[in-house]
Amino acid sequence: MKVVTIKITHFTILLLLVLVGFLVVAFKIGVFPSPPVVPEKKEITKKELKELTRGVVKTKEGTTVYYQRQLGCLVCHSDPKLKRLVGTKTISFYVNPAEILSSVHNSIACTDCHLDFTYQAHPYETKQNYRKTAGLSCIRCKDHEKQYKAYLPSRHAELALGNDPKGGATCGDCHGSHGIKSLKKDKAYRKKFFFSAKEVCGKEGCHLTEYYNYNDYYHGRAYKTKALDSPACWDCHGYHTILPKKVSSSTISERNLPKTCARCHPDASPSIAGYAPLIHQPTKGLPIISGLQRFMAGLSRKAPEPISSGLKGAGGLVKRIVQFFFPPSLRPKEK
């Protein structure tokens, strides 16, 4: 009887290692189905039970509706892969549970803001603008009555509440949604929000061009380099009662502009308001450059940083003149 000997070469060992590596990678990326993970059984503590049942409501029919936390909306919306094709865009409907739990709204129900939600018709199946409905739901809360009264006469409210095609800004458009934190108590969040003017005011469809031409030496450039003594958009234009320049009660009207400047420059003469036209640097009078900016904005769906402006064309001369008349001592005081 012949004995068969198998000669294991270095090549064979290498081939086996490659095969094992391939199988490991294949399982990790999901080429082969993984066995189901059976959760370990454990007793639920009273604290966990209270957290899980916080969103339980007894209806008139006697049935129980679970609308919050792990028992309701987040069963689906806590999945990062939850997406939907709307037209030609793929929109994510993922909601980070940790973001909600760390927000100031961690004790309210989803339906307290999503007022148009019903279990028979999901918001995206209705003709209502569910983003707008949720964004304006803050005005129903007693904690925000003061802010709502200030918001009502604003240009944003005029457009938003009047269903104007231009849209208008809702509370949610400026303050965000699920991750809202306290501007009074959370210093880190307050600082982050202060430097979020691009996301708050300069988003597409709002004041994108104005954000990019907010580029003067003492205000815009200082703000964009995160100088703590620089002004955000709302420091000049107001917070909730934002009005057009032509309205006499506006913070940037001809009558009120000196007072607005005096908030940061109390020792300056009223003539300091004459510097205001230089704060935003539009490219009017430079048709080639403004045309190029519009073309680039169309391609990227956002306005690029200004390529040039009337002030930059004079080189460093204008900069030195501005520094002479408006020395660092007139910069806004640190917040």
pLDDT tens, residue by residue, 96-119: 888 888 898 888 888 888 876 655
Question: Average of pLDDT values for 197-211?
Answer: 90
Residues 6+ apart with CB under 8 A from 16: none
Distances (CA, A) of 312 to 273, 279, 317: 21, 13, 9
Q: How many CA atoms lie within 13 A of 264 on its CB side?
A: 23
Note the pLDDT tens digit of each residue in 121-165: 555 555 557 778 888 999 888 889 999 999 999 999 999 888 777
The pLDDT assigned to 99 comes to 87
Q: Which residue has the higher pLDDT, 87 or 179?
A: 179
Note the pLDDT tens digit of each residue in 300-323: 444 444 444 434 444 455 555 555
Check pLDDT > 80 for residue 333.
no
- Give which of 123, 38, 36 is closest to 73, Cα–Cα: 123
The pLDDT assigned to 2 comes to 55
The pLDDT assigned to 16 comes to 79
Show the DSSP H helices in 220-272 as ranges.
Answer: 220-224, 233-237, 257-262
Q: Is 219 exposed, middle or buried (0-12, 13-18, 19+ CB in 10 A)?
A: buried
- Give which of 107, 106, 124 is closest to 116, Cα–Cα: 124
Check pLDDT > 50 for residue 64.
no
Question: Average of pLDDT values for 229-256?
Answer: 94
Structural contact between residues 158 and 168, judged by C-beta atoms closer than 8 angstroms: yes
- Look up tokens 């039970």; give the residue: 49
Measure the CA–CA gap between 202 and 212, rounded to whole angstroms. 8
- Give which of 172, 155, 156, 158 is closest to 115, Cα–Cα: 172
Distance linking the first and last C-alpha atoms of the chain: 94
Give the 3-state DSSP-derived string for 50-73, with helices as H, strands as E and coil as C: HHHCCCEEECCCCCEEECCHHHCH
Percent of the chain with pLDDT over 70: 62
Measure the CA–CA gap between 59 and 157, rounded to whole angstroms. 35
Phi first, then psi, for residue 149 (nearest 5°) are: -65, -35
Q: Which residue has the higher pLDDT, 56 or 175?
A: 175
Least confident of 166-175, 282-291, 293-302: 293-302
Check pLDDT > 60 for residue 28.
no
> Whole-model pTM?
0.63
The pLDDT assigned to 132 comes to 85
The pLDDT assigned to 295 comes to 55
The pLDDT assigned to 227 comes to 92
Measure the CA–CA gap between 332 and 274, rounded to whole angstroms. 16
Average per-residue pLDDT for the chain: 74
pLDDT category, 9, cuts 50, 70, 90? Answer: confident
Measure the CA–CA gap between 303 and 255, rounded to whole angstroms. 31
Rg of the chain over CA atoms, in angstroms? 29
Question: Which segment, 80-89, 220-229, 279-288, is predicted with the most confidence on average?
Answer: 220-229
Check pLDDT > 90 for residue 243.
yes
Least confident of 28-37, 155-164, 284-293: 28-37
User: Is residue 294 helix, strand or coil?
Assistant: helix
Structural contact between residues 274 and 252, judged by C-beta atoms closer than 8 angstroms: no
